[in-house]
Structure 1
Amino acid sequence: MLPAALRRWLRRPKRSDPHLLSQFFFADERVTQVVAEINRLDAELDPQQYLVLLNQLHLSQAHLLAVLEQIMEECIPTQRHSRDYLVKFPEELLVGNLGNHMLFAAECLLAGTFLEVEEADGAQLRPQARKLLSSLELVRTVLREQSLNQPSSYPEPVQAVLVQFDRLFAEFELSYVSSMVVVKSPEEIYRQQEIIVLFCETVGRALRLGYLTQEMIDGYEPLLMFTIPRLAIISGLLIYPEGPLSLERSPDQMSRVFSPFYNLLKKIRDLLQVLSAKELYLLERSLCTAEMDPCDLATPPAWGADVAREEPSAPWGLLKVTHATPALPSGTPGVGDDAGTTWQWSPQPFGSSLGLDATPGARCLELRSRYSSTKDMLHTLFVCISGVADQLQTNFASDLRSILKTVFKIIASQTEPSEEPNASRAHHLPEWVPDSTCSQCSACRSPFTLLRRRHHCRSCGKIFCARCSPHAVALPHYGQLKPVRVCTHCYAAHLLPATRRTRSQ
């Protein structure tokens, strides 16, 4: 009878084997080899080699975790612990090596060499770190054995240890990050989602009015990082006054992104409300080009009175804007501009369409009289609005990047068809579940939100979140010759092995 070591050697998978368990075997073997080399090395005698080996260990562990992540997505896609808490993290933490950093932190905590956390936090984290590392060792042992026996399947014991490790990893990750940085509260997350909606509505309006083009959105033009927040300030103060920039709230009820500018936003709003349609157009155009354009105010915009009425879509469900046109009493003297003409306030169709508040004539005149000319007033507004938007880039760079990234994803992406397939193809396709009948993912049961969108599986017709329907394959038996979205279950259970193997290669 062959010795156990020889039998294990004969059952070793080949490096060309595409199965994930085979890839895990060699990734795990590499980690073990590097650790053995570090243990044999005297760091004091050869510090340079020690640093080289530490770097190799870091890279090999990162590769091991990447393969393990793929295994969990293939083996337990519907049993994975929810990662919705990631939305609470600052964006700069959401990098590819976050998982590797978590394991390194857990090892340091157990060794007592971790100095980044307070002692009280360390005492709470150590039991979690111990459980996490023990679970990882069990996962490595179980997966190694499975890769030597049958690398193409995941029996129930393998699934059980993976589920436990995934849960412990998520719990430690949330606890560790919460002890290191300030994570967003549920209220702040909701307020940030309100800002995302405001920014999306702002971009939609700018596209309709010609301030922006779809090509600029699809091309992720850098200038939009400044343009969108500037235009959003105007939209939030004029068009959606009960939205996230509502000044009827106290500063502590606003998002922390805008609350520091509460008093300045009030002054900006007061000035915006006395602008004519032409002046507002000139201001917004200047904000889009990032420089104040001293246009001739005597020349109205070409599209002036022909612009279609802009009705707010009330994405928050509570927004109701009263459309009132500001006007001065007859005979009120005008304010001279620097072109030598007399400015006279008069009703504007565009002003009505924006829903500007009705400002009393005396108040209107008083605000405008503070400036030597209309151009001076517009320049002041330009500087103030640009200043707030630029401060967002400086003081809340992480939050703003996260908001704009989501906005680009929503605006630039193609909306998936929600209607049922047409009658000519209905007998070829699965039953299409209507959007209105499904409020949560059919696999992980996570509720759909603005950020977690609905996606139909073209194989079974059910609705899933993006995490549970990440695959795209052709379905010739349904007449789909190009790759289309399918859920993880259909991908794993119904596709031909040859098709999956071709895609993995």
Structure 2
Amino acid sequence: MLPAALRRWLRRPKRSDPRLLSQFFFADERVTRVVAEINGLDAEQDPQQYLVLLNQLHLSQAHLLAVLERIMEECIPTQRHSRDYLVKFPEEVLVDNLGNHMLFAAECLLAGTFPELEEADGAQLRPQARNLLCSLELARTVLREQSLSQPSSYPEPVRAVLVQFDRLFAEFELSYVSSLVAVKSPEEIYRQQEIIVLFCDTVERALRLGYLTQEMIDGYEPLLMFTIPRLAIISGLLIYPEGPLSLERSPEEMSRVFSPFYNLLKKIRDLLRVLSVEELCVLERSLCTAELEDPCGPDIPPVWGAAVSRVDLPAPFSLLEVPCATPPTSTCKMQLGLPGAIDDPGTNWQRGPQPLGSSPGTGIDATLDAHWSELRSRYSSTKDMLHTLFVCISGVADQLQTNFASDMRSILKTVFKIVASQAEPSEEPSASRE
């Protein structure tokens, strides 16, 4: 017995050894030592020391898992179990110590306690927890032995044990989190990606029209958390009507973020369609500043249909920029999706109700014209109509932040990553000389 123990002592790696298996040896040794101290302590006699040791255990386990993760990335990078399911999790679940929390939950389940779970769910997860912890103990044993013999190599038995542990960990993680919270379906994930695309297109358009600046985006201006969703509601209803805010779908087919506002979005869309180009510019600028501007003049004459394509036209993805009617704001332009429409710089948008996409001398459909006139007649003035739109659009956008805070944080976080300025990589001196 002594010679074997002596050989193990002599084979111990040095603490300064940078190899991962050597680092694992000392991380594993620390976990074993803390567990032994906890087992030898009477928690009732010394509760303060018990809490101290418990905290040390959590920290040492987290370090052990971090080293184990690096070993798997080095040893079995192409055999790792897919973690694509993580996109289904709510943002608040994706914390840095999620792996440590999973192991703690597995230990509780194996001990017969079901923290945060219904008893039936806990009983169903218990076999998975047992398999995971057994696999972890096997992996620790195999890696310890390998660190004492050949810490520079990963033979096939070591790789097989790691592949099994990685698979069992991923399966337990998905099952446990799914029992705790509602995870997104593949359809909802796709719909959320559609919203991200809409928001990115909205930001690109707002930059081009001068509503936003790149400096505001790169500086993560807090007001943008509200401005972008507000402008996106207009873009989704008016400019990209076949996108995620398509009202041709049923509410059940829309993203759960927007489906509760289905009927209100219909009313907003109908009002947006009767705005002139100038009125739309006023509304969008107001939504950016969170304060309604006064329309130019006492009552702006409508440019019927100028702000939206005819209802019988296909979805406008080939966008056209048309100058805004406000003379001082040269950057204020409106993207219009009118297939076949001609961008005529000489067009005077203040001369009267000349709809975009119609030939001179031809009027828009009489029924549609009457409907739009009836909608406008419900309001005492243009300012009253714009105020109603301002309040409704702001209300929907603000409710998104309140009712779907996690989804909106995830969406906006991705949008900012995409639209923020990318740092240009510095060139190597040799490459510059070439």
CA distance in 2, matches of 1:182, 1:52: 34
The alpha-carbon distance between structure 1 residues 43 and 305, as it changes in their structure 2 partners (threshold 3 A), is closer
Q: CA deviation at 1:322?
A: 5.6
Counterpart in the other structure of 1:300 = 326
Which of 389, 403, 408 matches 2:397? 389
The aligned counterpart of 1:32 is: 32
In structure 1, how many angstroms separate the alpha carbons of the residues matched to 2:132 and 2:287?
51
- Which of 368, 373, 376 aligns to 1:368? It is 376
**Would the alpha carbon gap of residues 306 and 237 (structure 1) be closer, same or farther in structure 2, given more than 3 Å must change?**
closer
Q: Is the 8 A contact 1:225 1:404 kept in 2?
A: yes
Contact 2:340 2:357 in 1 (8 A): no
The reply on whether 1:398 has 2:389 as its aligned counterpart is no
Q: What residue ranges of structure 1 are gaps of 5+ in the alignment?
A: 313-320, 326-342, 417-471, 482-505
Instruction: Please name the residue that 1:191 is paired with.
Output: 191
- SS of the residue 2:284 aligns to: helix
Contact kept in structure 2, 1:277 and 1:350, CA below 8 Å: no
Q: Which shifted more, 2-11 or 60-69?
A: 2-11
TM-score, normalised to structure 1's length? 0.72
Residue by residue, what CA displacement relative to the aligned partner does 1:143-189 show, whole Å, maximum 9, x if unpaired?
Answer: 11122222222222221111111111111111111111111111111
1:154 aligned counterpart, secondary structure? coil
Aligned to 1:280: 280
> How far apart are residue 80 of structure 1 and its match?
0.6
**Alignment deviations for residues 389-447 of structure 1 (CA, whole Å, 9 cap, x no partner):** 1100000011111111111122226499xxxxxxxxxxxxxxxxxxxxxxxxxxxxxxx
**Residue type matched to 1:396 in 2?**
F
Structure 1 equivalent of residue 88 of structure 2: 88
Aligned residue for 1:455? none
Residues 209 and 382 of structure 1: is their aligned pair in 2 closer, same or farther, counting only changes over 3 Å?
same
Deviation digits for residues 107-130 of structure 1, max 9, x if unmatched?
111100114222332222111111
More helix by share: 2
**Structure 1 residue 205 displacement after superposition:** 0.9
SS of match in other structure, 1:166: helix
Q: 1:250 to 1:301 in 2, by over 3 A?
A: farther
- 3-state SS of paired residue (1:246): coil
Distance 1:149 1:347, change over 3 A: farther
| Offset of residue 218 of structure 1 | 2.1
Between stretches 101-110 and 151-160, larger displacement belongs to 151-160
Over 3 Å counting, the alpha-carbon distance change for 1:169 and 1:371 in structure 2 is same
Question: 1:6 corresponds to which letter in structure 2?
Answer: L
Inter-partner Cα distance in structure 2 for 1:223 and 1:344: 36
**Aligned mates of 1:64, 1:347 — CA distance in 2:** 71
Inter-partner Cα distance in structure 2 for 1:115 and 1:2: 44
| Residue identity matched to 1:403 | I
Structure with greater contact order relative to length (CA < 8 Å, sep ≥ 6)? 2
Q: Deviations over 1:359-407 (max 9, x none)?
A: 8222222212222221121111111111101100000011111111111
Q: Is the 8 A contact 2:210 2:332 kept in 1?
A: no
Distance 1:392 1:369 in 2: 31
Unpaired segments ≥5 residues, structure 2: 301-324, 343-349
The answer to whether residue 353 in structure 2 is matched with residue 346 in structure 1 is yes
Q: 2:6 matched to which residue of 1?
A: 6
Note if contact 1:277-1:348 (Cα within 8 Å) is conserved in structure 2. Answer: no
Deviations 1:8-64 (A, max 9, x none): 222222222222222211111111111111101101111111111111111111111
Where 1:372 maps in the other structure, the secondary structure is: coil
* 2:100 counterpart residue number: 100
1:202 partnered with 2:191? no
Once the two structures are aligned, what percentage of the paired residues are identical? Answer: 81
Q: CA offsets per residue over residues 325-370 of structure 1, 9 Å max, x none?
A: 9xxxxxxxxxxxxxxxxx9962366999xxxx97822222221222
Change (3 A) 1:120 1:301: farther
TM-superposed CA distance for 1:306, in Å, is 8.4
Say if 2:286 is the partner of 1:260.
Answer: no
Hey, what's the Cα distance between the residues in 2 that align with 1:414 and 1:138? 45
Deviations 1:265-292 (A, max 9, x none): 0111011111111111111111111222
**Residue 79 (1) aligns with residue 95 (2):** no
Change (3 A) 1:345 1:134: farther
Structure 1 counterpart of 2:276, one-letter code: S
Q: Is the 8 A contact 1:72 1:162 kept in 2?
A: yes
Q: How many residues align?
A: 394
**SS of residue paired to 2:141:** helix
CA distance in 2, matches of 1:70, 1:211: 46
Q: Using the alignment, how far apart are the partners of 1:54 and 1:411 within structure 2?
A: 44
- The answer for the alignment partner of 1:233 in structure 2 is 233
Describe the shift of the 1:254–1:301 C-alpha distance in structure 2 as closer, same or farther (beyond 3 A): farther
With over 3 angstroms needed to count, the CA separation of the structure-2 counterparts of 1:142 and 1:369, relative to structure 1, is: same
Secondary structure of residue in 2 paired with 1:13: coil
Change in CA separation of 1:222 and 1:152 when aligned onto 2, cut-off 3 Å: farther
Change (3 A) 1:163 1:30: same
In 2, Cα distance between equivalents of 1:7 and 1:412: 58
- What amino acid does structure 1 have at the position aligned with 2:182? V
Question: What is the SS of the residue equivalent to 2:212?
Answer: coil
Task: Kindly state the Cα deviation for residue 253 of structure 1 after the two structures are TM-superposed.
Answer: 0.9
Distance 1:80 1:475, change over 3 A: farther
CA-CA distance at 1:305 after TM superposition? 9.5
The one-letter code of the counterpart of 1:397 is A
User: Hey, what's the Cα distance between the residues in 2 that align with 1:323 and 1:246?
Assistant: 22
**What is the letter of the counterpart of residue 181 of structure 2?**
V
CA RMSD of aligned residues (A): 3.0
Partners of 1:378 and 1:219 lie apart in 2 by 30
Contact 2:72 2:162 in 1 (8 A): yes
Q: TM-score, normalised by structure 2?
A: 0.84
Secondary structure (helix, strand or coil) at the match of 1:147 reads helix
Name the CA distance, whole Å, in 1 between partners of 2:373 and 2:214: 39
In structure 1, give the amino acid aligned to 2:152: S
2:176 matches 1:168: no
